[in-house]
A and B are shown apart, each in its own frame.
Chain A
């Protein structure tokens, strides 16, 4: 098969964090439905991996799997991963412009005439800073809350309770389980200049010479917003989810004859 195989892992982040499990909060979709995948759009996906072998038993074609993780509680996967950072920079730029205009006018352009109130308003709009349990941000752009429309959440609404916000994208951190232990799949993480995937993605080559149904486990890291003495922080939480691969191997055949090689079926002169 010339097409690469893809498995989309869509996670309901909000509910997964609340329930403490990916079970019931994960939806899996692949592009092998035509070849017999079962359980599409559910948490129990059995992906069909169709291999081929030559008449001498040799493996005829390789199959490559790709995993792409998305979140239902985040800005769409189609946006570049630096979207959050871009929005924060734009927001900061506007805040600085407002301060600059206030300074230039000597406070005369404050909405209610009081420059201090105006400074406080700009400060509130700056947004709540979010720390991490490890004291640093894996994604620097997540140090401010952003809602699902791309707006930075103001400090004030953040204080009233947990506002609706976009979760940092879940990250697949490991692939393990039966299929890996039995060396049916050989997963690895690859680097890519593609900004849409943050530069990293998981792929695996499949040994289609050993047909059967094998389970594998995805380990995903989510970020939970928690309150602490030092304010709000993103706390990483790792959860795992199982799915299966149904590996089959079919003999290769000639397209013209349906069996072995023959003469081209041309019309008689």
Chain B
């Protein structure tokens, strides 16, 4: 039976990430439950394999449940490696509860057969000038056909 949903989970060591000022170096690992041959599980270079029509959902978990972390944005990168412009009105406001956002979307058919598409995953860890960190190494790869 075809898998209709694929879940991507980011596990973050918030204290280490804030201390180092980066999500790299083992401070975050990404994994998913795709059955279609994802690569880079357990790293920030996760490439999630999916099919058109599947629902992809991203969630974030802190290693220490007493520490705060939420997804601030997910932006797919264009062919030049730059993130797509943010649609108007989509920038989270000050004090907005980011935990009320569900980061899921349907894989469009136009993605099928294309090279892996990188995205920028931006996380917010409480507030302040150094509270937002991001990675641009994870990707989504969509197979050409539906099995």
Contact = CB atoms under 8 A, between A and B. Distances in A.
Contacts of B140: 264, 266
Interface in B90-147: 90, 95, 97, 99-108, 110-111, 114, 117, 126-127, 140
19 contacts: A2-B61, A2-B70, A3-B62, A3-B69, A4-B65, A34-B127, A50-B100, A52-B100, A252-B102, A255-B101, A256-B103, A261-B106, A262-B106, A263-B108, A264-B56, A265-B84, A266-B117, A267-B84, A269-B114
A250 interface: yes
B15 interface: no
Nearest to A253: B101
Closest 3 CB pairs of A and B: A264-B105, A255-B101, A1-B99
Contacts of B99: 1-2, 50, 52, 61
B66 interface: yes
A35 B99 CA distance: 11
Interface of B: 55-56, 60-62, 65-71, 73-74, 76-79, 84, 87, 89-90, 95, 97, 99-108, 110-111, 114, 117, 126-127, 140
B98 to A, nearest CB: 8
Contacts of B95: 34-36
A2 B101 CA distance: 12
A252 B89 CA distance: 16
A269 B73 contact: no
B74 A255 contact: yes
A257 to B, nearest CB: 8
A6 B64 CA distance: 13
B76 to A, nearest CB: 5
Chain A interface mostly: loop
A257 B107 CA distance: 14
B97 to A, nearest CB: 5
A268 B90 contact: no
Contact of A250 (B55, B100, B103, B107): B100
Interface string A235-261: 000000000000000111111111001
A265 B97 contact: no
Given A267-B84, A268-B110, A261 B105 contact: yes
Contacts of B117: 266-267
Contacts of A50: 97, 99-100
Given A2-B70, A52-B97, 14 more contacts: A2-B68, A2-B69, A3-B66, A3-B67, A6-B66, A36-B95, A52-B100, A60-B100, A253-B101, A255-B74, A256-B103, A258-B90, A262-B106, A266-B140
Nearest to A6: B66
